[in-house]
Structure 1
Amino acid sequence: MEDTKETKQKFFTENKNHDQLIALYNQFNAFAKDNGMSLVVDEIGHAVSEMKIVEKHQSAPGHCHGGVIAGLMDATLGASALSYAFANGKLCATVEFKINYFLPVKLHDEIVAEANLEHTGKRLVHTVCDIKNKKTGKIVAKGIGTFNLYPMNKQTFE
């Protein structure tokens, strides 16, 4: 894709292919790439992200910083909402999210976040997410998020 403002805007505003938009989102998502997060959206409203905790994610020796887990939570909640937004020719932004931590996440743990769309309205959508330790299957955190839907043409694409 040519890297011009007009080309990007046209791609998003005229594209109705949900899978193509999610694939492009994955390409642009530097935050996820920098933190080793993978994202799969297998159906509208359902998102799964995974990541392995590495040295740069530590806040104390051998332990993951809560902000890393919150980042994965927000990204997965957001992908769930974004898949719905894309399917409706819109974009979305986080309005609010809440996270509860239940178990520590340690260096080299692999965690899996799974989010599902629970409610859709004209302007707001609500999603829920569990993050589990991939090896043990135990829930390490739960969260909920609210996202604002807005028209694609409000994106500046700069």
Structure 2
Amino acid sequence: MENLTKQNSSTGCFVCGINNNHSLKAKFYHIGNGTLIAEFNAMDQHQSYPGVLHGGIAAAILDETMGRTILSIDENLWGVTIDLNMKYRKPLPTGDKLYAKAFLTEHKNRSFTSAGAIILPDGTPAVTSTGKFMKLPLDKITQGGNFLEDWFYVEDERPVNLPEYIINFQL
């Protein structure tokens, strides 16, 4: 896919941490116009009921995906959650690769809003979300910690092949 830009990952993050054994191992791809796709692994350790992704995990992936949409405007900014609203429509299976998609919907001086969904392979949104985020520079978020040492680009091991249903999905 043209205009596909992979975003950085971190070491210990629950959503994208490459060295966190409990992480969703999410990878984030900016596809243009404030739109972001997340590819993640929903494993059995992330379940609530057998074979069903925990709702809090769905909230975490959407929070992260929507909060990262601002990076498409300014790679030095991050979104810190002010308000997060979720609507759970269908159960999400564990044991499969899943995708979320988020859209930057409003961009103000100090904040932005975003909307997103985790989409089933048939194109149905299983979980939808909206959120409002405060814009902060990445180096200001950790309250004195050096986050930038743990924030880096990880090359994909294989060519990225995002499914058509996620590329074409619109809220």
TM-score, with length taken from structure 2: 0.68
1:7-156 correspondence to structure 2 within 5 Å: 22-23=7-8, 26-28=9-11, 30-31=13-14, 32-33=16-17, 34-43=23-32, 45-86=34-75, 89-133=76-120, 135-151=121-137, 154-155=140-141, 156=144
1:10-48 CA distances to partner (integer Å, 9 max, x unpaired)? xxxxxxxxx69x33xx14562223112121123352110
Q: What SS class does the counterpart of residue 123 from structure 2 fall into?
A: coil
| 3-state SS of 1:64 partner | coil
State the Cα distance separating 1:144 from its structure 2 match: 0.6
- Moved runs in structure 1, 4+ residues, more than 4 A? none
Counterpart-to-counterpart distance in 2, 1:143 and 1:48:
14
Long gaps (5+) in structure 2: 18-22, 147-171
- What letter is aligned with 1:99? M
- Counterpart of 2:99, as a letter, is V
Checking the alignment, whether the CA contact within 8 Å between 2:66 and 2:115 is kept in structure 1 is: yes
Percent identity of equivalent pairs: 23
Per-residue Cα deviation, 1:114-151 (whole angstroms, up to 9, x for no partner) = 11111111111011112101x22211011111111235
Distance 2:24 2:139 in 1: 29
Give the number of aligned pairs: 134
2:101 maps to amino acid: E
Give distance in 2, aligned partners of 1:153 and 1:65.
31
Distance in structure 1 (CA, Å) of the matches to 2:12 and 2:68: 11
**Which has the higher Rg, Structure 1 or Structure 2?**
1
**Contact residue 39 and residue 48 of structure 1 kept, 8 A:** yes
Structure 1 portions without partners, runs of 5+:
1-18
2:168 maps to which residue?
A: none
Which residue type is aligned with residue 136 of structure 2?
Y
1:98 Cα offset (Å): 0.7
**1-side partners of 2:28 and 2:105: how far apart?**
19
In 2 relative to 1, CA 152–132 (structure 1 residues): closer, same or farther, beyond 3 Å? closer
Local SS of the residue matching 2:73:
helix
Distance 2:102 2:35 in 1: 6
State the TM-score, normalized to the length of structure 1.
0.73
Task: Please give the alpha-carbon distance, in whole angstroms, between the structure 1 residues aligned to 2:58 and 2:138.
Answer: 29
Q: Is the 8 A contact 2:67 2:78 kept in 1?
A: no
CA distance in 1, matches of 2:49, 2:63: 22
